[in-house]
Amino acid sequence: MSSDKPVMIITGTRKGIGRFLSEHFLAEGWIVAGCSRGESDLQHENYRHFCLDVADEKAVTGMTRAITREFGRVDVLLNNAGIASMNHALLTPKSTLERIFQTNVFGTYLFCREAAKAMGRRKYGRIVNFATVATPLKLEGEAVYAASKAAVVSLTEVLAREFSGLGVTVNAVGPTPVPTDLVGSVPEEKMTALIARQAIPRYGEMRDVLNVIDFFIRPESDFVTGQTLYLGGV
């Protein structure tokens, strides 16, 4: 049975941007299915939470199928889940590389693939991936993180073409640093120097990210796909 309400999948919803987006779209009347490695304390009649690793293929497939069984549709996917590691390349072990690519690239790909299958049945869908300004700014100390997000941009561009026949658009938002746990461990002087390189030198805010997402997921944005919109003027 298909739900009358639109259904959105958001990855990495336990805290930070993912939590903010979940609460926002629930307030807007969406059904939201979220996931993270741990339990969430978000309580809402239209929220479903799944504990999983986004790089676990069976878990991702199981989650999307469970959502489709319950609600009959998936309208939007926000691939928010991501991790970073700030370290010089000479001091970065292979294990860090694997961990970051597992979450940022493999996880993004798996959710895109499974969500597109569900979206294709209704010939409608919107996918928004998460890039980063670390890639165009070529940030020192962020080689692995920037490379993983460059892969996400490339995935976005190619999947936009592959999914176009399904009525599914695929775009990406590239936030500047937003005060979350992801940037909390970065030294203040490093953040100040980074922000100074933006055309608009300030921290990003949740509303900035939301504004781009709102544009990408509108039904009227059906002619916009394969695009990455970086915030802050980089």
In a domain, 66, yes or no: yes
pTM over cut 0.85: yes
- Angstrom CA distances, 105 to 52, 55, 133, stand at 16, 9, 16
In a domain, 106, yes or no: yes
Which pLDDT belongs to residue 221? 98
- Domain harbouring 193, CATH code: 3.40.50.720
Residue 56 burial class via C-beta count within 10 angstroms: exposed 0-12, middle 13-18, buried 19 and up:
middle
Domains in the chain: how many in total? 1
In a domain, 181, yes or no: yes
Which pLDDT belongs to residue 185? 66
Which pLDDT belongs to residue 184? 63
Cα 35 to chain centroid distance, Å, stands at 12
Mean predicted confidence (pLDDT) in 149-160:
98
pLDDT at 183 over 70: no
pLDDT digits (tens, 9 = 90+) for 57-89: 999 999 999 999 999 999 999 999 999 988 999
Which pLDDT belongs to residue 66? 98
In a domain, 77, yes or no: yes
- Angstrom CA distances, 169 to 139, 172, 193, 228, stand at 29, 10, 35, 12
In a domain, 1, yes or no: no
In a domain, 2, yes or no: no
Which residue has 């493999």 as its token pair?
Answer: 106
pLDDT at 180 over 80: no
CA angle 102/215/210 to nearest 5° reads 60
Contact yes or no for 105/151 (Cβ under 8 A): yes
Domain containing 195: what range? Answer: 7-230
Q: What is the DSSP string of the chain?
A: ---SS-EEEEES-SSHHHHHHHHHHHHTT-EEEEEESS------TTEEEEE--TT-HHHHHHHHHHHHHHHS---EEEE---------GGG--HHHHHHHHIIIIIIHHHHHHHHHHHHHHHT-EEEEEE--TTTTTT-TT-HHHHHHHHHHHHHHHHHHHHTGGGTEEEEEEE----SSTTTTTS-HHHHHHHHHTSSS-S---HHHHHHHHHHHHSGGGTT--S-EEESS--
pLDDT at 51 over 70: yes
User: CA-CA distance, 73 to 125, in Å (whole number)?
Assistant: 10
pLDDT digits (tens, 9 = 90+) for 155-167: 999 999 999 999 9
